[in-house]
Structure 1
Amino acid sequence: MAGQQVLVSDTVGAGDSYMAGLIYGLLAPGAEGRGVTSLESLGPTASKAAAIAVRGPGVAAHGRGN
């Protein structure tokens, strides 16, 4: 599966966002009716979530100077 191509600003939270995308796909309304039998089928959603997360500054950037 190919990932999303984005300009990366910060990778903080990329893995968490990917996992959130997987979990969303498993729990989303209608997931049972889709017959999700493979985590691979949820990859595009998870990849998109991670791609969005890395485009801006991560958590560490927001806590600086406090």
Structure 2
Amino acid sequence: MGVELLKNEKDLNELFRRIEQSVKETVKGRPRKAFGSLEEERDYLKAQVDYLKKRYPNLVKEKR
């Protein structure tokens, strides 16, 4: 893109719109799961923790 000469407010708005669009396109990651309630999210996270504990037992530290 390089350095551009912005002649008026319309050019500036267009530049901001393009920058905003490119930022949205570059954001990566796993989309968040939508939960209906806090209890549902808690149960989901507990199940996930239990699964990981079973999958990687050497990483689990015992409580004293």
Q: TM-score, normalised by structure 1?
A: 0.32
Q: TM-score, normalised by structure 2?
A: 0.33
Higher relative contact order (CA 8 A, sep 6+): 1
- Which structure would you say has the larger Rg? 2
